[in-house]
């Protein structure tokens, strides 16, 4: 035997070749490859079988997925699918995967057990444009920039010390609004529009003391409401460009075009705020309070926090656009701090007008705590147990963001025995959880008493995973401290200072319309009538 035969690991191949075997060498090689492939696929299949499966979900169409069946009312469609597919399901929408969680226990895994894993965002086109490239607190992903921003915002802007320091500014704006309402006694009022304008002026006053000027106040407030409503609608609406990024340049639905128009209006508005604040001047839209100057130390400190915040922020990725960052933060405060709160005031008032006996209980409590010869102050709010229960029940039945803002895992993980792929978008379906009959007795009824049995069992901070209207964990709403104060203060003031009734012949309905913030389908209009002891109480001071 030759050396070649003895050294070769396949001597029979050489022998076959030399003997002109009928089986060609190529065929033998292919056979070896086929055997290796079978071994590999068998190993891969066993490994795949040991991995957790994806969640169940409805079958969609090739390429489009479930997109043609989604509709425009996401929270309604997601609740409908939850009845079929249970606590967690998946939706393939175009090229993206969405996971909808409809269970409090699975929600806990996301917001508590694996909070860090799910702390990222994947903002859609509309949200990215509206927030200056996702530079705000809500839509920026976790990282040095977001951590620094949130830390500064919560510790300095939303601290009890900062909010207490500017209470006089909030109080003065509320009193001015009540005086205006007194002069319109007996005239139908759009409660949502009235409240939004009040909250805009509150936020403006806290920022630097300016408020919308008298003659242009109502017109600007109405325009602001339309613009913000359109922004929320665009951010929350399904957009083909988000599901098929390769087609985004076509802007098939015109969402990018429309959000840029809305963003331009808001940018001009916010630029007015920045100009007034940084250059110490007013413009045709805003005025300062009489007898007060920009050197007011308390106001200067509150504003200076905003102006200095971007100097302290870190960003390891790239140099910050500091102007855009400041405007993104102000967008969160001006839009998030007004629109959501005004929406909830409208929902609460609608439910109370629908349930007059509950309205009477809330008003009776206010009379007992405040008295008919005084106006509501913020120090009264902790004593208003029944009103607090009314607000909690309104958040249960009408959460402003029933799907919250989607989270995105930074790596593949397992939730509830199912694989959640990296980069998928996770919806926490609080609108469904808040009405789950396994959790809530008679869930479709408005019953504030359910929150009176143990007032500490449910709060707005997301400590009970069956009730998270503002989310929970790292991604809980950063503006919650101010929102909670303002919602209670405005509602208490409206209910204590006036009796409310629907216009003659008007019918109250509680249907909603789609958007990232879910509002009443039709504006709530009601008539105020003074109920306090003397007219002097309504004079702005």
Can you read off the two tokens belonging to residue 362? 């809330």
Question: What's the gap between Cα 396 and its chain centre?
Answer: 15
Can you read off the two tokens belonging to residue 52? 């957790």
CB 410 within 8 A of CB 474: no
Rounded Cα distance between 425 and 473, Å, is 17
Write out the chain's pLDDT in tens, 541 residues: 444 444 444 443 334 444 455 455 656 666 667 676 676 665 555 555 567 899 999 999 999 999 999 887 888 899 999 999 999 999 999 999 999 999 999 999 999 999 999 999 999 999 999 999 999 999 999 998 898 888 888 888 888 988 998 899 899 999 999 999 999 999 999 999 999 989 988 988 887 766 666 556 667 777 887 888 889 889 988 899 999 999 999 999 999 999 999 999 999 988 877 776 666 555 555 565 544 444 444 444 456 676 666 556 555 444 446 778 888 888 888 888 899 999 999 999 999 999 999 999 999 999 999 999 999 999 999 999 999 999 999 999 999 999 999 999 999 999 999 999 999 999 999 999 999 999 999 999 999 999 998 878 899 999 999 999 999 999 999 999 999 999 999 999 999 999 999 999 888 999 998 778 889 999 999 999 999 988 899 886 6
CB 482 within 8 A of CB 509: no
Rounded Cα distance between 505 and 523, Å, is 16
Q: What is the CA radius of gyration of the chain?
A: 29
**Architecture of the domain spanning 74-538:** Orthogonal Bundle (1.10)
Domain boundaries, the chain: 3-50, 74-538
Can you read off the two tokens belonging to residue 20? 């002109």
- pLDDT at site 220: 72
**H/E/C letters for each residue in 151-181?**
HHHHHHHCCHHHHHHCHHHHHHHHHHHHHHH
Rounded Cα distance between 326 and 143, Å, is 18
533 Cβ neighbours under 8 A, 6+ residues apart: 372, 373
DSSP 26: H
Q: Report the candidate in 388, 513, 365 with the shortest Cα–Cα distance to residue 455.
A: 388
Question: What's the gap between Cα 62 and its chain centre?
Answer: 32
CB 93 within 8 A of CB 67: yes
**Beta pairing partners, 407:** 426
CB 108 within 8 A of CB 465: yes
- pLDDT at site 10: 41
Give the torsion sign (CA, 221, 345, 262, 151). Answer: positive
- What digits encode the pLDDT tens for the residues 162-195? 899 889 989 999 999 999 999 999 999 999 999 9
CB 488 within 8 A of CB 387: yes
Complete DSSP assignment for 83-143: HHHTTEEEEEETTEEEEEE--HHHHHIIIIITTTTT-B----HHHHHHTTTT-STTTSPSS
Can you read off the two tokens belonging to residue 280? 């110490």
- pLDDT at site 304: 65
Full-model pTM:
0.85
Beta 96-101 vs 425-428: how paired, if at all? parallel
Give the torsion sign (CA, 27, 29, 32, 38). Answer: negative
b/e code 86-107 from CB counts within 10 Å (16+ = b)? ebbbbbbbbebbbbbbbbbebb
């Amino acid at each position: 035997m030759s050396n070649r035969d003895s050294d070769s690991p396949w001597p029979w191949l050489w022998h076959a070749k030399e003997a002109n075997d009928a089986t060609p060498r190529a065929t033998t090689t292919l056979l070896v490859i086929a055997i290796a492939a079978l071994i590999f696929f068998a190993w891969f299949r066993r490994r795949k079988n040991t991995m957790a499966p994806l969640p169940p979900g409805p079958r969609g169409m090739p390429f489009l997925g479930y997109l043609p069946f989604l509709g425009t009312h996401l929270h309604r469609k997601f609740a409908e699918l939850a009845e079929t597919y249970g606590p967690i399901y998946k939706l393939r929408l175009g090229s993206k995967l969405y996971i909808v969680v409809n269970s409090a226990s699975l929600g806990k895994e996301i917001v508590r057990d694996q909070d860090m894993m799910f702390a990222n965002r994947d903002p859609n086109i509309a949200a990215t444009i509206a927030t200056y490239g996702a530079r705000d607190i809500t839509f920026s992903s976790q990282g040095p920039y977001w951590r620094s921003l949130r830390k500064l915002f919560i510790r300095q802007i939303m601290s009890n010390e900062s909010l207490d320091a500017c209470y006089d500014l909030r109080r003065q704006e509320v009193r001015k609004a009540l005086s205006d309402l007194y002069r319109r006694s007996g005239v139908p009022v759009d409660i949502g529009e009235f409240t939004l304008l009040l909250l805009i002026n509150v936020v403006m006053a806290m920022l630097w003391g300016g408020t919308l000027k008298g003659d242009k106040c109502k017109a600007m407030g109405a325009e602001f409401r339309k613009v913000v409503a359109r922004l929320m609608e665009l951010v929350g609406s399904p957009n083909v460009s988000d599901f098929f990024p390769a087609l985004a340049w076509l802007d098939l639905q015109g969402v990018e075009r429309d959000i840029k128009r809305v963003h331009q209006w808001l940018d001009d508005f916010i630029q007015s705020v920045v100009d007034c604040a940084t250059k110490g001047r007013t413009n045709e839209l805003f005025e300062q309070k009489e007898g007060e100057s920009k050197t007011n130390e308390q106001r200067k400190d509150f504003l200076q926090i905003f102006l200095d915040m971007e100097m302290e922020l870190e960003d390891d990725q790239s140099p910050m656009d500091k102007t855009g960052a400041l405007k993104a933060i102000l967008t969160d405060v001006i839009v998030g701090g007004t629109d959501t709160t005004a929406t909830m005031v409208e929902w609460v008032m609608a439910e109370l007008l629908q349930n007059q006996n509950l309205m009477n209980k809330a008003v009776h409590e206010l009379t007992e705590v405040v008295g008919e010869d005084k106006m509501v102050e913020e120090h009264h709010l902790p004593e208003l147990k029944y009103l607090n229960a009314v607000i909690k029940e309104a958040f249960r039945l009408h959460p402003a963001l029933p799907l919250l803002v989607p989270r995105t895992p930074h790596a593949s993980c397992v939730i509830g025995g199912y694989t959640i792929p990296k980069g998928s978008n996770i919806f926490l379906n609080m609108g469904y959880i808040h009405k789950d009959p396994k959790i809530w007795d008679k869930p479709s009824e408005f019953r504030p008493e359910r929150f009176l049995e143990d007032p500490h069992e449910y709060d707005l901070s997301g400590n009970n995973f069956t009730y998270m209207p503002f989310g929970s964990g790292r991604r809980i709403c950063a503006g919650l401290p101010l929102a909670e104060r303002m919602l209670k203060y405005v509602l208490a003031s409206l209910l204590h200072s006036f009796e409310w009734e629907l216009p003659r012949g008007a019918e109250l309905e509680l249907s909603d319309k789609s958007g990232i913030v879910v509002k009443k389908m039709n504006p709530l209009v009601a008539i105020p009538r003074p109920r306090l002891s003397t007219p002097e109480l309504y004079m702005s001071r």
